[in-house]
Structures are given as structure tokens and as C-alpha cells.
Amino acid sequence: MYIIIIGAGNIGSNLIDLAVSDGNDVVVIESDEERANAAAAEYDCLVLNADATKNGSLRDADIDRADAVISTTDVDAVNIMVMLLAQEHDVPNLVSVVHDPENLPIFEKIGVTLIENPQRLIADYLYHSVRYPGVSDFIDLDDDTELVELTVTEDAPMSGQLLESANESGTLPDGCLVVALKRGDEIRAPKGDTTIRTGDRVTVFTDDVSLADAVAAFTGDQP
């Protein structure tokens, strides 16, 4: 993919690293000269020290070739302007961070894929890491439900259990659904006759009320 990334700050730098490492053609636009020079020295990509809200800067980045434009600055007004300009060039994928929830309708009207309040996402991740150490990853789906990834421990109540039996006995808490299971290199969609084993990595859909009980069921960590 040909990706234009706006901003080489904390979020942008991590994104640049991921995109370049994955073999994409990446162009970075960064208005701060020091950050731009640091990114140019660190990553194997073109870095432009320019103002991305100027159409000329996006043309210099060859925006008409772009498969995606991702704006990561900490100023919503800048991100909005970049998205509007990218839309004029018919870029198929527009992605931006959004810091102020009041600005969400503007981004949604443009048709942007949103990363809402990255600072809150980091805070949520840190809190989950402390509150539920058995959770290796999670995604908030809305205010009341989420997906969590758990590794089944030897002393966990779910270890050795058939999913069907676990549902009937209550070992698997109400409000929980195992939607994926990774065993070794194999990923499968579990069924009622699937036996959960120690070492399995399971992805569980759960509501917030049942989250602590779900973590306990698969890891043995008591809520």
C-alpha cells in the first residue's frame, strides 16, 4: 500500500514503524523540523517537513497515488483539514485520531475511520493490565461489552471443559461467548463439542458485568 502519514509524534512514530516494517510505501508529513529530521533518520521512508493542511504539501507527497491517508496530530482542526483535502483527491481510506468527542460528527460526516481519544485508549489498556493481569488484549465494543483475549491456565475452571458442558454448569459465566480459539498455530471457531485446554488462547465476548468472572474462569485469577 501507498500510505501518507501526517505527524511523527508519539502516535505517528509508532504507526510509521509498523507501516514501514510491513513493507508499505510510506510518506510522512511533519511540520516540526526536529521531528521530521528524527523520523527521516530513523525510518526508511520519505519524510517531508511541511504543513499538511496545504494542498501543495499533499501533492508533494503524491496524494493521488495514496491508498490511505492517516492523520495523527494532536490538533483536531488539523486532522479535519487534512481529511477534507484527502477526500478531494478521492483517497479511498481516510483514518484519523480524534481527541475531542464533540468533533466526532464532523469526522463522521467526512467519512473518516476514527480512532477516538487515543489517550483514553492507552489509559484503558493500562487499567485492564493492572485490574485483569490475565487479559493479554482487549477491544471495547461499546460502553457495556468488549472482546478480551485470555490464555487458559492449568488451574483455571475452564481447563479441560467442553464448552457445551461449561455453559450448562455455569462454569462459563452468563453473558460470555467464546468466539475464537488459538491452539498452537491453528485458529478455529469453537463449537459446543470443543474442549478448552491449558495453553489455549481464547477470545471471549463478554459484558462488563461478567468480565471479572470470565477472566477467573479461564485464568483462575479471582475477581
pLDDT of the residue at 116: 67
pLDDT of the residue at 119: 67
Question: Comparing 31-35, 74-78, 125-129, 192-196, which segment has the lowest mean pLDDT?
Answer: 125-129
Strands 93-98 and 113-116, how do they pair?
A: parallel
pLDDT of the residue at 134: 74
Share the mean pLDDT of the chain.
89
All structural domains of the chain: 2-118 (3.40.50.720), 126-219 (3.30.70.1450)
Question: Comparing 51-60, 129-138, 192-201, which segment has the lowest mean pLDDT?
Answer: 129-138
Whole-model pTM: value is 0.66
Query: Mean pLDDT throughout 165-191?
Result: 89
Between the alpha carbon of residue 53 and those of residues 10, 59, 110, the distances in Å are 20, 11, 16
pLDDT of the residue at 197: 93
| Residue 223 clears pLDDT 60, i.e. is over it | no
Query: Mean pLDDT throughout 11-38?
Result: 95
| Residue 174 clears pLDDT 90, i.e. is over it | no
- Cell, residue 4: 501518507
Query: Mean pLDDT throughout 119-130?
Result: 68
Q: Which amino acid is at 153?
A: T
| Cα–Cα dist 194/50, whole Å | 55
Q: 131 or 58: whose pLDDT is higher?
A: 58
| Residue 114 clears pLDDT 80, i.e. is over it | no
Q: What does the pLDDT look like over 38-87, one tens digit per residue? A: 999 999 999 999 999 999 999 999 999 999 999 999 999 999 999 999 99
pLDDT of the residue at 69: 96
Q: How many percent of the chain have pLDDT more than 90? A: 57
What is 145-181 written as a DSSP string?
EEEEEEEPPTT-TTTT-BHHHHHHHTSS-TTEEEEEE
pLDDT of the residue at 19: 95
- Residue 68: strand, helix, or coil: strand
